[in-house]
Structure 1
Amino acid sequence: MPNIENLEDRIIEIYRWHYLDVYRFLICFTGNQNDAEDLTQEVFVRVLNNLSNFNTGSLKTWIFSIAKHTAIDHYRKKRFSSIFKEGFFKQLPSSEMEPDDLMERNEVKIIVHAAISKLKPDYRAVVILRGVNELTIKETADILQCSESKVKVDYHRALKILKNKLNIDPGEVIGNANG
């Protein structure tokens, strides 16, 4: 039974390497920790059940594609109105930052998250994948099953909408707005 042990080891390794990124994506997409935990579990059950069907391409991209479809299915079922309301894009605070600066940064993040939640799902997914998870344009295109140029255009348009709504540079909060 060495094959089973190897398969089990591979599954454990896949989970260990990709769990946090998938969880982060889902928490950003749903805005709810409990839903994100449930959906993350569902994603890895789907990965386990379909791993034998995976044979080419990037494993990470394939897993994120499953996560995206799981999140969209959830979104369609629930049709929730507020995403990111709890502000889960947490960064480790710098010990050099003043408490007032930390508070201001967190307030801006919450406002940005609220604005992101109002974007149409395609724009929201691109912003989360590119701006939050910092995936490449190619990885994002593979996950969203679209062209790289569509990713670039949607990301640019989404950031432009955010900038207009917020009157700030969203790149300062969610990542580099260029590229």
Structure 2
Amino acid sequence: MPVLSVEKKRSLNNKDFKNVFEKHYTGVYRLLTCFLSNRATAEDIAQETFLKFYLSPPRELDNVGGWLMRVARNLAYNHLHREKSRAVRESHMELMQITEPELRFEEEEEKDVISQALHSLTERDRICLTLRLSGMSYAEIAQAIEVKETSVGTILARAKERFKVEYLKLKGRDDNVL
């Protein structure tokens, strides 16, 4: 691909943008469609990707395709994270609408047991489990607890096991229940 002309304010001329769009749109769209399993959302995010490229192109233009794929992937992750958060909020709202006192009592009792089990864990285990359940990636968790990303899976597995043991103790159950 010929070197693109970028003006001093780092914007592309329309011809260069059109060339990049025509060359890379299909690949970006295909990646997003596979990643999101939704064509309409993939189209929207592909358009957003190219808008970001048009408004603020990368400093180095020797790997535009890689830059576009990375931006598209990050936008898709952000979309998925927002959708997951929305689903959690909606399910929480549904739980709050339950009016039967007995169910509320059981839920509160269960929350107390879960809270006690969580607080019996080390701070790192508690943070790790909470971050993962809130939808954070291994990379984000690794950064938050200051460990290597490759260690996060092991830390999570051990934290889950310790939580299970504490939870079962508090519920007064045998280890084989879960």
Q: TM-score range by the shorter chain?
A: 0.3 to 0.5
TM-score, with normalisation over the residues of structure 1?
Answer: 0.40
- TM, length-normalised to structure 2: 0.40
Q: Which has the larger radius of gyration?
A: 2
Structure with the bigger RCO (C-alpha within 8 Å, sep 6+) is 1
